[in-house]
A and B are shown apart, each in its own frame.
Chain A
C-alpha cells in the first residue's frame, strides 16, 4: 500500500451512534463502528455494502455533515475534528466535496444552473470579477461536457435529464477545486444507458486532476469497474479491504463471498445456483451485537465468532479482513 504514497484523507476508528426512540425507550443505533480508511490522490476507493451497512454514514462523517461519536479524521496530516471554527470548516469543505445520489433533489428547482455554480465560486471567493466568473462558469460546464455552454447555463434543473443534472452536481463540486470528492451512489438513480458516462467522467477527473474519490455504492460490478481499491462494510463494520480486482477474484470474508455470488451476472446464464447460498438478513443496528455481526448468516461460523467481534487480520501486504478464519 505504500506505492500509493501518503493518504490525503484518513479516517481512524470512526464511530457514529445515533440516538433514537423516545425518552422512555432510548435506543442507540450503531450506524458505523471502528471505521478506518485512507483515500489517496488520483485513486478511487469504493465503499461497498447493503443498505444500513453504514457506508453513507461514513461518507457523511468524512464530509462533516455528521459529527463522529468518536475517532479521528486526518486531512493532510491534521486532525480536522479539533478545529470547529468557521474559516477552518470553510476550508475543509472546499477541499472535500460530496456528490449525492439523487440529482433530482440535490439541485434547487427554483434556481438556474448559473445560480447553482455561481454560489460556490462566490462563497469560497474563487473569482474576483464578473468576467472571471463568466469564464469559470463556462470552464466548469466544459469540464463536465455540458456543451455548448449557453444551451445549459440558464436552464432550470427540471429542463435537464437525470444524467445532465448529475453532471451539474459534479460541476458544482468542482467549482471549489476540491482534492477529495465523496460520491454517494452517484449513478444508482440514473438510466443504465447513461451511467457509464458519469463514471467515465469521474474517472477522467481522477486521472487529469489527481482527485481522490470515495465511491459509495451497493453495486459491486461498478465498483470493480471504477475503483482501485474496495472496502466492504457490513452492519456498521468494515469487514474486508484490498485492491479491487484481487478482492473480486478472491474474496476473503464470507460476507464478501455471499455478496459477490448475489450479484447478477449475465455471463452465468439462466440463474445458476451459486456456491454460496444467500440467506438471512442484515441484523438490526439498534441491538447490541456480541461477536461477529455476520455470524448468524455465516456458513463457516465457529464458536469464537459468537463471543467476540474479530479484529482486523492482515492477510497479505495489501489485503485484510475481519474474520477469525484468517487468524
Chain B
C-alpha cells in the first residue's frame, strides 16, 4: 500500500449531511432518579467539515460522542431520537454490524486516548491489529500501511517497533490518531484530543490533524472545553449547556456575534493573547444538577437577563442569521434570508 492508495478523492455531495442527529435524548440511571445528560439535541455534520461541540464539564458533549458511536455503557442509555450516518440508521444496527461499522466509517479518539494504547504491544502491532480486524488483508500489506500511517501523523518509521512507554505523550496521541485513521473513516470524533498535552505539542497535533483533514476530506466532530482553540480550529460550533444546544453557527459568528446570553458570557470569560487587555468576568453560579434541572430555560438561574417566562418555557433554537441558531426567548426569529 502506498501513500497514493491511502488517498481517497472525496466525491461526496457536500450539501448532504454525513451525520444527522435528531432529538437525541440520553439518560443515566442514578439511584432512583435519572439524569438527563442529553436533552433533545439535533445537529448535522457535513462532509469535509470540522464541527465543534463546546461546553463545560457535565454539559453532555462526551455523552453525545458515546451515543453516536453507540459506545454508551450502563447506567447510560439512549432514551429517544435518531442518529443517521449517511444512509445507515445507527440506532437500528446490531452489535456485529456496529463493530464492523465503527473504524471503517466512524472512529473516535477519546479523552486521554494516549493512555488507551496497550502497554505490552508495540505501536505498529496495534495499528496492524485494527486494520486486520476490519479488512481481509495480508499482514505484510497491513504492516506497510501502518508505516505510512505513522509517517502521516509525523512519527518516525523506526518507531513502529516502540512500546507506548517509550514514546512521549504527544507521540502516543499521534499514534492513537494514526489508528483512528487506519481505515479511512468518513468521520472522526475527537474528544478533547489535546487536553493533557502542552500548548506547543497541542499546536503541532492540531495543525497535523487539520492538514490531514484537508488532504483526505474526512469530517471531524471536535469536542472540547477550550473555546479559544475551538474557534480557531472549527468551521461550525455548537455551544452546549446542561445537555442542550444553546447556540449553533459558523465559528466566526459565534465568536464575534454571539446571540445567546450564555455564549455571550462564555466568550467574555477567557483571556486572549492578543488584542486589548480587558476586564473579564466569570459567569455567576455553577452548571445545574441534571437530576433535577431548572424549569423552563436551563440557563435562567445564572442569566442576568432572565424574565418570568424563562422560568416556564424551555426555548427552542430559532434562526438568528445564516446557518446561525440560538435558543433564547429574548431572540426574535429572523424571518428573512
Contacts and interface: CB of A to CB of B under 8 A. Distances in A.
B203 A262 contact: yes
A196 B281 contact: yes
Interface stretch (A33-41, A83-91, A267-275): A267-275
Contact of A269 (B198, B199, B232, B282): B232
A191 B225 contact: yes
Contacts of A282: 198
A48 to B, nearest CB: 10
Nearest to B278: A225
Given A221-B228, A262-B199, A263-B199, A194 B283 contact: yes
A245 B277 contact: yes
Given A221-B272, A224-B273, A271-B210, A194 B286 contact: yes
B257 to A, nearest CB: 13
Nearest to B197: A51
Interface string A280-299: 01100000000000000000
A192 interface: yes
Contact of A191 (B57, B232, B235, B271): B57
Nearest to B54: A192
A224 B277 CA distance: 8
Contact-size category for A: 35 or more
B282 A265 contact: no
Interface in B71-104: none
Contacts of B281: 196-197, 200
Interface in A249-268: 258-268
Contacts of A192: 56, 225-227, 266, 269-270
A195 B271 CA distance: 10
B266 A193 contact: yes
Interface string A162-204: 0110000000000000000000000000011111111010000
Binding site secondary structure of chain A: helix
A221 B270 contact: yes
Contacts of A198: 282
Contacts of B198: 50-51, 218, 282
Contacts of A262: 199-200, 202-203
A193 B272 contact: no
Contact of A194 (B170, B204, B273, B282): B282
A323 interface: no
B271 A222 contact: yes
A225 B270 CA distance: 9
A161 interface: yes
Interface in B202-235: 202-204, 206-207, 210, 225-229, 231-233, 235
A7 B75 CA distance: 56
Nearest to A189: B57
A278 interface: yes
A263 B283 contact: no
Interface string A195-229: 11110100000000000000000111110111000
A200 B287 CA distance: 20
A248 interface: yes
A219 B195 CA distance: 12
B282 A197 contact: yes
Most buried by A among B57, B206, B272, B283: B272
A56 to B, nearest CB: 13
B291 to A, nearest CB: 14
A314 B99 CA distance: 62
Given A163-B286, A194-B282, A281 B265 contact: no
A225 B277 contact: yes
A222 B280 CA distance: 11
Contacts of A226: 271
B271 A193 contact: no
Contacts of A281: 168, 170, 201
Contact of B229 (A191, A194, A264): A264
Given A191-B287, A259-B200, A266 B56 contact: no
B199 A266 contact: no
A82 interface: no
A20 to B, nearest CB: 15
A220 B207 contact: no
A71 B226 CA distance: 39
Contacts of B332: none
B191 to A, nearest CB: 17
Nearest to B199: A262
A192 B168 CA distance: 27
A259 B282 CA distance: 26
18 contacts: A50-B200, A191-B225, A193-B265, A195-B270, A196-B281, A200-B282, A218-B199, A221-B271, A260-B273, A263-B199, A263-B228, A265-B228, A266-B227, A267-B275, A269-B232, A269-B252, A270-B251, A279-B204
Instruction: Name the 9 nearest CB pairs between A and B, nearest first.
Output: A197-B282, A225-B271, A266-B231, A262-B203, A264-B229, A50-B198, A196-B282, A191-B56, A264-B228
